[in-house]
Every structure is written in C-alpha cells, then in structure tokens.
Structure 1
Amino acid sequence: MKTIINHLAENQVVSRDDLRKLLTNITKEEQEYLAEKAREVRHQVYGHDVYTRGLIEFTNYCKNDCYYCGIRRSNKQASRYRLTKEDILLCCKEGYELGFRTFVLQGGEDGYSTDDYIEDLVRSMKEEYPDCAVTLSIGERSYESYKRLYDAGADRYLLRHETANEEHYGILHPKELTLQNRKQCLINLKNIGYQVGCGFMVGSPGQTVDNLIDDLEFVKELAPHMVGIGPFIPHKDTPFAEKEQGTLEMTLRLLSIIRLMNPHVLLPATTALGTIHPKGREQGILAGANVVMPNLSPVEVRKKYMLYDNKICTGDEAAECRVCLQKRMESIGYCLVVDRGDYK
C-alpha cells in the first residue's frame, strides 16, 4: 500500500484499481502514512498556515427539495429567515475586526436573491472591505448571472457537485435537478474567472466506492481551486432521517487523497467533521486540509440554518469561535492567519 501512496504523492495520479485499494483495504498504520504524505505536500505549498473564511448564512429559504438537506423546500418544520443587507454588513464589520479577510455568503436558492440584490450586496462589501475576498455559495444560476456577479467583484464561488455519478445524483435529488446542469455551472464559473470550489458528501445514501472514485476523477479533471468534502449527517426532517451518517475515517482518508492528487487545492476541515468528532477539524487539518470556515452569522439565526442535525458552534459568538479555533489549531502546531487565503 505504501508503494501506491508514494506513487500518488510523486505523480498526483494512480489507477482506479489503486484508488479502490486505498478506499477499501487500508490499515490504520497505512492511513496514518497517507496523512503524513498529505501533510508533507500541504506544507510544501501552504506551510503551517490555516486560512479562515467567515461564513455568513444569509437566507435559509430554498426552492429546491434535495432529499438530504434540512432547509429543503418541503421541510415545514424549518423556521425561515433572511438577513438584511445591514445585518450582512454588520457581520462583515465584526469579522473584519476579528481578522477575517474572506467572507462567504451562503444561502439556499432563494427567489429573493435576485441578481440586482446580490450585485448590490457584493459591491457594498467590496467597497467597504477592498482587501477582502467575497465568496458566493448560492447554488445554480445562469452564465449571465454568474458573469454579472463576478463583474460586481465576487472573487470565488462554491458549488458542491455532491456526486459525479448520474445515477447516484438521482438518489440524492428530485428529477428537476440534474448532474449535467450542476457540472455545466461549475465549468461556466471557471470559464468566467472565479476561483471555484466543488465537493461532495462522504457516506451519503446509495454511495458506492465507485462513486467516490468518480468524484476523485471529476475533481482531478475539473481542477478546482477548492474542494469541500464532509461526512453525510442525516437531518431529522428529511427523507434521509434514518440513514446512517458518513464516517470520520473515510472523510479523513479522502482529504489526504485529494491533497495528494491536487497539491495546491484549498481544502477545508469542515464544521460537519467537527460535528461527528470533538477533534474532527484538527484531524482534518492533520490529514492535509488547510482551511476552516467559522460562522459569522448572528447567533439568533444559526440554529435555523440546519442542513443536518446537531451542528456545532450554533451558540457561540463569532469572537469566541475565532479564539477557540485559534487555540485548536495551535494545539496541533498550526496557525490561523489574517489573510485572504488565495489559491497558490
């Protein structure tokens, strides 16, 4: 197995058969070796710096009905909210003072979030914080919409592809949503000039090892600037309420493989990792990740943006989150930096 890992570290590519072995047939010791190699590569490119993104979850209205998501259209239990422009700029102000230099506007696909509205928001954020990056994570839109928001000053766009296998995509989404359109959106974003992030859930219902290999190959082919992966965690008010959650071990393994396949990629240790294990984010960083995304949303709305159950840090003030994360990163020999944290 070490031969495969070394080959991957040196060449950034191995066969599907070798990927299958890494995903199914690896001892604890070999997984630690994989993580060690991923750390080496990460240190060569990004040193021991950990970049922070200030997450602003500005709306939990969504027109989509994805089967895994707590803010899906059909969830009548969800308490809906929208932050005002003033609320959002206040989050940025607080975040800026705490050292955040990237703001991530994340929300459901909300009809209220028109091009006019988001363009105005982006322009205002860039005017007040010209040294900061603005990342959007607001779902599938037209080429024209993406271009307009890019021209307004948006730097990055996160759009998880969720799974690169068409059949599996159909298990996770209603039929009006297609993998073909999702992939086209990612290609459009890249062509326009955004720094682009894709990603997938680990252990989602119906996922096979072959699906995961498809995901790894899609990521390699797309060559995004960022890849967001995290364990699937069920939400009690969705069709997947009773499904089993993804594992820490497989998520960490995939983080290491993604780092070795894409040495320069920005790779978050997600909140979902911290939700399934008390030291999940630290372990994610030690597996090759180099980004964390603490929440800047007002505390009173955090519990309403529940994509999955038991999400952590919903009661902490932004400053508490920042200090807590700093200590967590320092405890494993890493440093949270005040930096836009661009792709190198």
Structure 2
Amino acid sequence: MDGNEGDYLRQRAVAVRQAVYGRDVFIRGLIEFTNFCRNNCYYCGIRRDNRHAARYRLTEEEILGCCREGYRLGFRTFVLQGGEDEYFTDEKMCRIIRSIRSNHPDCAITLSIGEKEAASYKRYFDAGADRYLLRHETANEAHYRRLHPEEMSLRRRKECLYALKEIGYQVGAGFMTGSPGQTVDTLYEDLQFLRELEPHMVGIGPFIPQRDTPFGGEPGGTAAMTVTLLSIIRLLLPRVLLPATTALGTIDAIGREKGLMAGANVVMPNLSPKEVRKKYALYDAKICTGEEAAECIECLKKRVRSAGYTVVCDRGDYR
C-alpha cells in the first residue's frame, strides 16, 4: 500500500470516528493482577513453560488499592487482566468484582482472563462485570494451529466470544499484526470474522517477540501495518471502541499517537503496582514499566493532546 492510500484510509477513519465519538479519548486503567497461566501459547511470555518468568499474584486488597488510586486519577473503567490462573476461582473473582462494584458503582469493570465455561462468565456478569476482552488471535484454523498448542482450539475460542455476547457483555476480540504465519488471506478472514461477530471493542497490536518463547527469534509486526488495520477496522465497525495499544507505543515512540490519528479512541495506561509491571512480560521491551500511575497518566494526556484529542473522565461505553 503506498502512502496516498494509507493517508486516504486514515482520513476516512478519523472522519467516521469523530462522527460517532467526537475527539474524546477514553482511558482504561489496566490492572495486570496475575502472570500465572495454564496455557502454553507459543508467542506469549507468560506461557506455562516459561521457566524464566518471575511469577506473581496481586492480593484482593492490592487490586482494590489499584482501583482506589485509579479512581482518584480520573479512571472510570478498570480492566482486570491476567493469565488463565486457576488460583483465581469463580468465587474469588466474583468477590473481587463485587467489591469493585460496591466501592465504585459509577465505573465499568472489564475482565480479560481467557477462556471459561459460559456459567463462569454468567457468574462474573451477575457479580457486576460489564465487559470482557478475549482476543481471537486469528480466525484461520491453520494459522491458529501455528500459534497455539494442540490442546487449544479456535472453535472453543469463538464459542467463548459468542457466549459472552449472548450473556450481555460488551465484548472485545482482536489479533496481533505480523504474527508468524500471518498472510493477507488470514487477515482477510480476521476482518470477516469481526464483521460477523460485531464486537464492541477490537484490540490489535503488533506481534513483538518475547525472547523466552518458541517465537523469540521471529521478526515482529510493524507500526505501519497496525495503523492501517486500525483504520480499516474503524471503517468496518464505525462504533467500535478501538485502543491505541501499549504494544504499538513499544515499537514506535509515537505509535499510540499514530493510532489515535488513524481512528483509535481508547488508551489503556497501567495501574498495576510499579514493582510487578516488568514481570507481566507478554513481549520484550514493554514501555511504561517504571513510571508511577499518576506520572504515566499525565504523560499520556499530553500525548493525546498532541494528536489533537482530549482524554475524558468517563466510562466510555460503546455507542
């Protein structure tokens, strides 16, 4: 794709995004509460067999403390993200969700904790969770097999996404750009799947290798391809909530600004305690691991302003 086509896509995507959401950018407070995971995905730094990962779990009080600090800083959505950690049973998760809901009734609670039974998803929803992020990673069966071990399945992943929608969650899917084995054809299938699923959120970011995984030596995805796909997704799903991801900011110093200028309207700063952020190493060289949450959000607000947008103190629901 030459520069002119990319520019045209970005201009169209920005016009569509502004028609629906204006110049508002929504912030989500990310709380990475466990890096234990039962899965062994070949691309992920917290995969089960990575013996170099420094494992941790936040306590319920630590999680609630992150929410209190986030609320003080203006966050009205909290994203609880973690590996598929069986220590956090349904009972524990529901207790945490109910506590956050009780302390912050005006906030949205998003979960990103992987594949569960539909009954578990329903329990979390009834406890007060509003949204669920579950990236499908690829909609192509052969490509899915290239990225995941035998015990995982694309069919199961899709079943989870449809179950979440049926329960009533605002649902997020998504994929990595430039992952090993990805082609124009697999990307076409991803876009067709998104069109069919009609998710409320789509999270895409470049594939970044993590040195202790089977894909540690593979080339990473590019900012240019990620930005182009953000524009395409905005045009495909005009009302979608679309993050300019940390991964995009990791491979390009102004990657998140480029994402916002291509149709994205969400940023997700990290509210996790400073001492654990480096340990949630899905990929190498992740940014924003050393700043306090307050410093991080002030820096981000300036960056968002530099791209011509404004961070708003709002739940930022799907319109």
Give the alignment's TM-score, normalised by structure 2: 1.00
Match of 1:238 in 2: 213
**Residues 250-269 of structure 1: matches in 2 within 5 Å?**
250-269=225-244
Q: Distance in 2 between matches of 1:331 and 1:187?
A: 38
Q: CA deviation at 1:71?
A: 0.2
Equivalent residue for 2:161, pick from 143, 161, 186: 186
Equivalent residue for 2:142, pick from 167, 172, 196: 167
Q: Distance in 2 between matches of 1:281 and 1:133?
A: 23
Q: CA deviation at 1:110?
A: 0.3
Q: Distance in 1 between matches of 2:308 and 2:52?
A: 42
**Residues 270-285 of structure 1: matches in 2 within 5 Å?**
270-285=245-260
Q: CA deviation at 1:27?
A: 1.0
Q: Distance in 1 between matches of 2:206 and 2:164?
A: 25
Q: Distance in 2 between matches of 1:245 and 1:282?
A: 20
Equivalent residue for 2:93, pick from 118, 121, 141: 118
**Structure 2 residue 25 is matched with structure 1 residue 50:** yes
Q: Which portions of structure 1, spanning 4 or more consecutive aligned residues, are displaced by more than 6 angstroms?
A: none
Q: Which amino acid aligns with 1:326?
A: K
Q: Distance in 2 between matches of 1:119 and 1:214?
A: 35
Q: Distance in 2 between matches of 1:292 and 1:304?
A: 21
Q: Which amino acid aligns with 2:149?
A: P
Match of 1:311 in 2: 286
Match of 2:122 in 1: 147
Instruction: Give per-residue Cα distances to partners, 1:32-65, cap 9 Å, x unaligned.
Output: 1110000000000000000000000000000000
Match of 1:294 in 2: 269
Q: Distance in 2 between matches of 1:97 and 1:315?
A: 20
**Structure 2 residue 187 is matched with structure 1 residue 212:** yes
Q: Which amino acid aligns with 2:119?
A: E
Q: CA deviation at 1:202?
A: 0.3
**Structure 2 residue 14 is matched with structure 1 residue 39:** yes
Q: CA deviation at 1:127?
A: 0.1
RMSD: 0.4
Instruction: Give per-residue Cα distances to partners, 1:240-265, cap 9 Å, x unaligned.
Output: 00000001111011000000010000
Instruction: Give per-residue Cα distances to partners, 1:102-140, cap 9 Å, x unaligned.
Output: 000000000111100000000000000000000000000
Match of 2:303 in 1: 328
Q: Which amino acid aligns with 1:293?
A: M
Q: CA deviation at 1:29?
A: 1.6
Q: Distance in 2 between matches of 1:93 and 1:153?
A: 17
Q: CA deviation at 1:77?
A: 0.3
Report how many residues are paired.
Answer: 319
Match of 1:71 in 2: 46
Q: Distance in 1 between matches of 2:222 and 2:214?
A: 20
Partner SS, residue 135 of structure 1: strand
Q: CA deviation at 1:198?
A: 0.2
Q: Which amino acid aligns with 1:46?
A: Y
Q: Distance in 1 between matches of 2:296 and 2:103?
A: 23
Q: CA deviation at 1:302?
A: 0.3
Q: Distance in 1 between matches of 2:291 and 2:187?
A: 34
Q: Which amino acid aligns with 2:29?
A: G
Give the alignment's TM-score, normalised by structure 1: 0.92
Q: Which amino acid aligns with 1:295?
A: N
Q: Distance in 1 between matches of 2:155 and 2:305?
A: 42
Q: Which amino acid aligns with 2:87?
A: Y
Q: Distance in 1 between matches of 2:24 and 2:160?
A: 31
Q: Which amino acid aligns with 1:253?
A: T
Q: Which amino acid aligns with 1:230?
A: G
Q: Distance in 2 between matches of 1:192 and 1:266?
A: 19
Q: Which amino acid aligns with 1:126?
A: R
Q: Distance in 2 between matches of 1:233 and 1:71?
A: 14
**Structure 2 alignment gaps of length 5 or more:** none
Partner SS, residue 219 of structure 1: helix
**Structure 2 residue 223 is matched with structure 1 residue 248:** yes
Instruction: Give per-residue Cα distances to partners, 1:314-340, cap 9 Å, x unaligned.
Output: 001000110000000111210000000
Q: Which amino acid aligns with 2:250?
A: T
Q: Distance in 1 between matches of 2:84 and 2:213?
A: 17
Match of 1:13 in 2: none
Q: CA deviation at 1:30?
A: 1.4
